Structure 1
Amino acid sequence: MTKPLSHAKIALRRSSERGYAEHGGWLKSFHTFSFASYYDPRFQNFGSLRVLNEDRVAARNGFPTHPHRDAEIFSYILNGELTHRDSMIKKGSEGAQGKEFYRMKRGDVQFTTGGTGIAHSEQNESSKPVHFLQIWALPWKHGLKPQYHTMTFSEETKRKAFVPILSPLAAGPEATPAQEAAAIPKIPDTIPIHADFVMGAGIIAPNSTFKWNVGAGEVISSKKKRNVYIHLPMTKNGLMKIKLDSREDAILEEGDGAFITGVNAGDTLSVESIGDVEAEVIVLDSD
């Protein structure tokens, strides 16, 4: 049994305390951090983590072509379908799924390096709503070359243990153009991110416990005082519930999150599913 981390501090971010916005009847969005019209000086970022929005987009609606720069942006699809299009791709002339075009479904993660500037659209072209997490991280340097990555992560694997989704670009902040193009991550079969940042996801059966290895071992640079954010999305009509670090005062319900500080690389954080249904848990671990 994993011992509680006596040096860890856990501060809860209740779902009801998040920012909330509705746009034109097509978008419902909860904001963990200050974003767009929602501002709270207490919640600007957490380490490299800058944005965590839980979005629902109505059928036949979405985000029209818009620019990004100098941010690492990724979407984690929970339910439904979301279509990514590069600014040069027109509907009806997409070709095969790839970096410039991708129709994302549950299990897919789509990643964008904004860098010097990129424009894309993200539309729900299906007949049903889409529910996803939109997450931004602050890159370790500005002026990077824009690019996209998309990967699929299986339900079966997530039910066994936390699955790494993102890990730092292996070549680091001083990567050459060739190393940037190769896009090799520190952890195999993950998406490379330009930050000292690891993302994981797991689906935990009731009365079961998964363990998160802070910093994912030796893959990160900043070993001390990591910033770990745990999020429990709203996907099971309020039936999911988890307990962190075996603490009775660290129980999360759907939509809740937790800021975990004072932890170091190599610490083991336990996440126990104590609800009536399996719990899908997102871990965002940054410097």
Structure 2
Amino acid sequence: MSTKTALKVIPRKHATRGHANHGWLKTFHTFSFASYFDPNFDKWGPLRVINEDRVEAGTGFGTHQHREFEIWSYIVDGELEHKDSMGNLEIMKRGDIQMTSAGTGIAHSEYNRNAEKQAYFLQIWGLPNTRGLSPKYYNRHFSDDEKRDRLVKVVAPAESEGVSDERNAEGPAPVHAALSMYASILSPKSSVKHTLSSTTTKAYLHNIMRSGYRGPNATATATDKFEDGGALVQLNNGLIFEEGDGAFISVDASAAQADGAREIEIKNVGERDAEFLLFEMSD
């Protein structure tokens, strides 16, 4: 990477994440969650949770409560039923993003009603910048074609221009935090560039484990571990990230944007489509 860069990158390798296999649920935790605790991975800006969840057919999360969190799901494959105390009931599918602003408190369940197919999604939590908000629910959809070989902003601060407060609308899902999330599906040999804003202090890249489940252990059998690491993305002509890998990106707040010091380039250097998320945020 250029000596002029304002970016410091620390990898978060797939196998180092928290992991649990409950039979009905296989899950990886980027941050401390449930029985997994690591003080070195407790938060990143307003981000508190990135869980990569696979829910088996006919199972799911029973009704449980949340408050004072922004909680959203990015559906990768299968179907997931969302039901909550605000009266919302719907089946989420690939391309859907479901956002719940829990505020003063909600109860919800997430269930895979499909009798044959696994549901696979990322569950993400952020800390809101205001406490005591009224609970709200939003649903957005972004097709594979929309995300093909480009970065699409799918989540953005609620007060941002062009962000709708309607339950179903075009554009990004609103989040009550200084955080944006972009999604992309990169074809082999394709790349995208993005310049972080002047107010951004942190970013996070996550290469989704789309090609299949990879066990966390080096001794995993061929049925749950890719020998080639799956889809491979390269960050700024430097580090390469396999599926399930992430990158903590710190930004020098004093660095100017003029010389490209805040530019991120992500390239698909593998032989499969790479689907990834890029978070951009301020403390």
Q: What interval of TM-score do these two structures reach, taking the shorter chain for normalisation?
A: 0.7 to 0.9
For the structure 1 residues 47 and 88, does the alpha-carbon distance in structure 2 shift closer, same or farther, using more than 3 Å as the test? closer
Structure 1 residues 69-128: Cα deviation after superposition (integer angstroms, max 9, x where no partner)? 000000000111100011375xxxxxxxxxx01200110000000100001110000121
SS at match of 2:61: strand
Alignment of 1:111-126 (within 5 A): 111-126=99-114
The 2-side partners of 1:7 and 1:156 are apart by: 32
Measure how far apart 1:5 and its partner are. Answer: 5.8
The 1-side partners of 2:52 and 2:111 are apart by: 16
Alignment of 1:94-133 (within 5 A): 100-127=88-115, 128-133=117-122
The two structures, once aligned, show a CA RMSD in angstroms of: 2.4
2:226 corresponds to which residue?
none
Measure how far apart 1:21 and its partner are. Answer: 1.0
Measure how far apart 1:256 and its partner are. Answer: 0.3
Matched residues, percent identical? 44
CA contact (8 A) 2:52 2:123 kept: yes
For residue 194 of structure 2, the aligned residue among 212, 223, 229 is 212
Measure how far apart 1:152 and its partner are. Answer: 0.5
Alignment of 1:1-287 (within 5 A): 6-23=5-22, 25-87=23-85, 100-127=88-115, 128-170=117-159, 183=165, 189-215=171-197, 223-224=198-199, 226-237=201-212, 238-247=229-238, 250-263=239-252, 267-287=262-282
Measure how far apart 1:234 and its partner are. Answer: 0.9
Structure 2 length normalisation: TM-score?
0.85
Structure 1 residue ranges (4+ consecutive) displaced by more than 4 angstroms after TM superposition: 2-5, 263-266
Paired residues, number: 257
Measure how far apart 1:36 and its partner are. Answer: 0.7
> Structure 1: any 5+ residue segments left out of the alignment?
90-99, 173-179, 216-222
The 2-side partners of 1:18 and 1:64 are apart by: 25
The 2-side partners of 1:72 and 1:195 are apart by: 8
Measure how far apart 1:10 and its partner are. Answer: 0.5
The 2-side partners of 1:183 and 1:21 are apart by: 36
The 1-side partners of 2:186 and 2:104 are apart by: 39
